Protein backbone atom coordinates (compact mmCIF):
# COMPACT_ATOMS: atom_id res chain seq x y z
CA UNK A 1 0.00 0.00 0.00
CA UNK A 2 1.60 3.25 -1.17
CA UNK A 3 -0.42 5.84 0.73
CA UNK A 4 -2.33 5.89 3.97
CA UNK A 5 -6.07 5.33 4.04
CA UNK A 6 -7.73 8.50 5.23
CA UNK A 7 -11.03 10.34 5.32
CA UNK A 8 -11.94 13.46 3.42
CA UNK A 9 -14.86 15.86 3.45
CA UNK A 10 -16.89 16.29 0.26
CA UNK A 11 -20.03 18.29 -0.39
CA UNK A 12 -22.36 18.59 -3.35
CA UNK A 13 -23.14 22.31 -3.35
CA UNK A 14 -26.66 23.79 -3.75
CA UNK A 15 -26.27 24.07 -7.54
CA UNK A 16 -25.36 20.37 -7.79
CA UNK A 17 -28.35 19.37 -5.66
CA UNK A 18 -30.75 21.58 -7.63
CA UNK A 19 -29.43 20.20 -10.92
CA UNK A 20 -29.93 16.59 -9.79
CA UNK A 21 -26.24 15.70 -9.78
CA UNK A 22 -25.98 14.04 -6.34
CA UNK A 23 -26.37 10.52 -7.74
CA UNK A 24 -23.86 11.09 -10.54
CA UNK A 25 -21.27 12.44 -8.12
CA UNK A 26 -21.80 9.73 -5.48
CA UNK A 27 -21.55 7.15 -8.23
CA UNK A 28 -18.15 8.43 -9.38
CA UNK A 29 -16.67 8.08 -5.89
CA UNK A 30 -18.22 4.64 -5.41
CA UNK A 31 -16.86 3.43 -8.72
CA UNK A 32 -13.42 4.75 -7.86
CA UNK A 33 -13.44 2.45 -4.84
CA UNK A 34 -13.81 5.04 -2.13
CA UNK A 35 -15.98 4.13 0.85
CA UNK A 36 -18.82 6.33 2.08
CA UNK A 37 -18.63 6.62 5.88
CA UNK A 38 -20.92 9.59 6.46
CA UNK A 39 -23.66 11.49 4.63
CA UNK A 40 -26.00 14.27 5.58
CA UNK A 41 -28.53 16.09 3.41
CA UNK A 42 -28.76 19.46 5.08
CA UNK A 43 -29.08 23.20 4.83
CA UNK A 44 -25.97 25.17 5.88
CA UNK A 45 -26.70 28.14 8.13
CA UNK A 46 -24.85 31.46 8.09
CA UNK A 47 -22.59 30.55 11.04
CA UNK A 48 -21.48 27.21 9.58
CA UNK A 49 -20.87 28.88 6.21
CA UNK A 50 -18.60 31.46 7.86
CA UNK A 51 -16.70 28.76 9.78
CA UNK A 52 -16.34 26.51 6.75
CA UNK A 53 -15.08 29.28 4.47
CA UNK A 54 -13.14 31.24 7.15
CA UNK A 55 -9.95 31.18 5.05
CA UNK A 56 -11.75 33.25 2.38
CA UNK A 57 -13.21 35.86 4.76
CA UNK A 58 -11.24 38.72 3.26
CA UNK A 59 -11.83 37.82 -0.38
CA UNK A 60 -14.15 39.96 -2.50
CA UNK A 61 -16.28 36.92 -3.36
CA UNK A 62 -16.84 35.90 0.29
CA UNK A 63 -20.34 37.36 0.83
CA UNK A 64 -21.55 35.94 -2.48
CA UNK A 65 -20.06 32.57 -1.57
CA UNK A 66 -21.84 32.51 1.80
CA UNK A 67 -25.11 33.52 0.16
CA UNK A 68 -24.73 30.77 -2.44
CA UNK A 69 -23.75 27.96 -0.08
CA UNK A 70 -26.70 28.77 2.26
CA UNK A 71 -29.18 29.20 -0.62
CA UNK A 72 -30.38 25.59 -0.72
CA UNK A 73 -29.67 22.11 0.59
CA UNK A 74 -26.28 20.46 0.22
CA UNK A 75 -25.18 16.82 0.38
CA UNK A 76 -22.34 16.66 2.92
CA UNK A 77 -20.30 13.46 2.88
CA UNK A 78 -17.22 11.77 4.26
CA UNK A 79 -15.35 9.42 1.91
CA UNK A 80 -12.57 7.08 3.02
CA UNK A 81 -9.78 5.41 1.10
CA UNK A 82 -6.14 5.36 0.12
CA UNK A 83 -4.90 8.92 -0.44
CA UNK A 84 -8.58 9.97 -0.45
CA UNK A 85 -8.15 13.74 -0.07
CA UNK A 86 -5.77 14.13 -3.00
CA UNK A 87 -7.63 11.65 -5.19
CA UNK A 88 -10.98 13.39 -4.63
CA UNK A 89 -9.40 16.75 -5.51
CA UNK A 90 -8.01 15.25 -8.71
CA UNK A 91 -11.47 13.88 -9.59
CA UNK A 92 -13.03 17.31 -8.91
CA UNK A 93 -10.82 19.25 -11.33
CA UNK A 94 -9.74 22.87 -10.90
CA UNK A 95 -11.62 25.48 -8.84
CA UNK A 96 -12.90 27.05 -12.08
CA UNK A 97 -14.88 24.56 -14.19
CA UNK A 98 -13.67 26.43 -17.28
CA UNK A 99 -10.10 25.35 -16.46
CA UNK A 100 -11.10 21.80 -15.52
CA UNK A 101 -10.28 18.91 -17.80
CA UNK A 102 -13.08 16.82 -19.29
CA UNK A 103 -13.43 13.71 -17.18
CA UNK A 104 -13.34 15.67 -13.94
CA UNK A 105 -16.52 16.48 -12.03
CA UNK A 106 -16.24 20.23 -12.54
CA UNK A 107 -14.99 19.77 -16.10
CA UNK A 108 -17.94 17.55 -17.01
CA UNK A 109 -20.73 19.11 -14.95
CA UNK A 110 -20.04 22.84 -14.62
CA UNK A 111 -19.18 26.00 -16.54
CA UNK A 112 -18.90 28.89 -14.07
CA UNK A 113 -16.48 29.59 -11.19
CA UNK A 114 -19.27 30.70 -8.84
CA UNK A 115 -21.31 27.53 -9.57
CA UNK A 116 -18.72 24.78 -9.42
CA UNK A 117 -20.97 21.97 -8.11
CA UNK A 118 -18.74 20.40 -5.48
CA UNK A 119 -16.49 21.07 -2.50
CA UNK A 120 -13.63 18.84 -1.39
CA UNK A 121 -11.08 19.31 1.39
CA UNK A 122 -7.85 20.97 0.26
CA UNK A 123 -5.08 18.33 0.15
CA UNK A 124 -2.43 21.06 0.31
CA UNK A 125 -3.80 22.35 3.62
CA UNK A 126 -2.71 19.81 6.27
CA UNK A 127 -5.55 18.88 8.59
CA UNK A 128 -8.24 20.53 6.44
CA UNK A 129 -9.99 17.19 5.93
CA UNK A 130 -10.18 16.41 9.67
CA UNK A 131 -11.22 19.97 10.51
CA UNK A 132 -14.04 19.99 7.97
CA UNK A 133 -15.29 16.53 8.95
CA UNK A 134 -15.48 17.70 12.57
CA UNK A 135 -17.30 20.86 11.57
CA UNK A 136 -20.05 18.94 9.79
CA UNK A 137 -20.27 15.58 11.56
CA UNK A 138 -20.43 14.25 15.11
CA UNK A 139 -18.32 11.13 15.77
CA UNK A 140 -21.41 8.93 16.07
CA UNK A 141 -22.59 10.02 12.63
CA UNK A 142 -19.60 8.34 10.97
CA UNK A 143 -19.95 4.64 10.23
CA UNK A 144 -17.15 2.07 10.43
CA UNK A 145 -17.81 -0.78 8.02
CA UNK A 146 -16.00 -3.24 5.84
CA UNK A 147 -16.46 -3.06 2.08
CA UNK A 148 -16.86 -6.54 0.57
CA UNK A 149 -14.57 -5.66 -2.35
CA UNK A 150 -11.81 -4.20 -0.16
CA UNK A 151 -9.46 -7.15 -0.77
CA UNK A 152 -9.77 -6.51 -4.51
CA UNK A 153 -9.21 -2.76 -4.24
CA UNK A 154 -6.03 -2.85 -2.23
CA UNK A 155 -2.90 -4.93 -2.59
P1 LIG B 1 -11.83 25.06 -4.08
O2 LIG B 1 -13.32 24.93 -3.88
O3 LIG B 1 -11.39 24.50 -5.39
O4 LIG B 1 -11.02 24.52 -2.92
P5 LIG B 1 -11.20 27.73 -3.09
O6 LIG B 1 -10.12 28.61 -3.62
O7 LIG B 1 -11.00 27.10 -1.75
O8 LIG B 1 -11.52 26.63 -4.20
O9 LIG B 1 -12.52 28.61 -3.07
C10 LIG B 1 -13.68 28.16 -2.39
C11 LIG B 1 -14.88 28.42 -3.25
O12 LIG B 1 -15.08 29.82 -3.40
C13 LIG B 1 -14.78 27.90 -4.69
O14 LIG B 1 -15.12 26.54 -4.80
C15 LIG B 1 -15.80 28.77 -5.40
O16 LIG B 1 -17.13 28.31 -5.14
C17 LIG B 1 -15.62 30.09 -4.68
N18 LIG B 1 -14.67 30.97 -5.37
C19 LIG B 1 -13.33 30.90 -5.38
N20 LIG B 1 -12.77 31.89 -6.09
C21 LIG B 1 -13.82 32.61 -6.55
C22 LIG B 1 -13.92 33.80 -7.36
O23 LIG B 1 -12.93 34.38 -7.81
N24 LIG B 1 -15.18 34.24 -7.63
C25 LIG B 1 -16.30 33.64 -7.15
N26 LIG B 1 -16.25 32.55 -6.38
C27 LIG B 1 -15.03 32.04 -6.09
MG1 LIG C 1 -10.71 25.20 -0.99
118-151 confidence digits (pLDDT tens): 999 999 999 999 999 999 999 999 999 999 999 9
The pTM (predicted TM-score) of the whole model is 0.97
Domain assignment of residue 150, yes or no: no
Known catalytic residue: 119?
A: yes
Ligand 1 contact, 65 CB (< 6 A):
yes
Domain assignment of residue 149, yes or no: no
Report, as an integer, the average pLDDT of 17-31.
Answer: 98
Residue pair 141/19 in contact by the 8 Å Cβ criterion = no
Domain assignment of residue 155, yes or no: no
Q: Name which residue sits closest to atom 13 of ligand 1, judged by CA.
A: 95
* Number of structural domains in the chain: 1
Q: Report the pLDDT value the prediction gives residue 1, as an integer from 0 to 100.
A: 47
Taking each helix axis from N to C end, the angle separating 128-136 and 84-92, rounded to the nearest 10 degrees, works out to 80
Domain assignment of residue 79, yes or no: yes
Domain assignment of residue 67, yes or no: yes
If DSSP codes are grouped into helix, strand and coil, which group holds residue 82?
strand
Nearest residue to 129 via CA among 67, 57, 38, 47: 38
Which residues hold their Cβ within 5 A of ligand 2, which is an ion? Answer: 122
Q: pLDDT (tens digit, 9 = 90+) per residue, 40-94?
A: 999 999 999 999 999 999 999 999 999 999 999 999 999 999 999 999 999 999 9
- Residue 51 belongs to domain spanning: 5-138
Domain assignment of residue 146, yes or no: no
Domain assignment of residue 116, yes or no: yes
**Confidence bin at 2 (pLDDT 50/70/90):** low
**Confidence bin at 3 (pLDDT 50/70/90):** confident
Report, as an integer, the average pLDDT of 17-26.
Answer: 99
What is the distance of C-alpha 149 from the center of its chain?
Answer: 23
CA 95 / ligand 2 centre spacing (Å): 8
Domain assignment of residue 61, yes or no: yes
Amino acid sequence: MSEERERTFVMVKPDGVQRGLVGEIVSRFEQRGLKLVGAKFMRIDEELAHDHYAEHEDKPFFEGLVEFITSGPVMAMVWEGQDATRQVRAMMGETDPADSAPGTIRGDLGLDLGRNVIHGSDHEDPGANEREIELFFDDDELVEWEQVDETWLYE
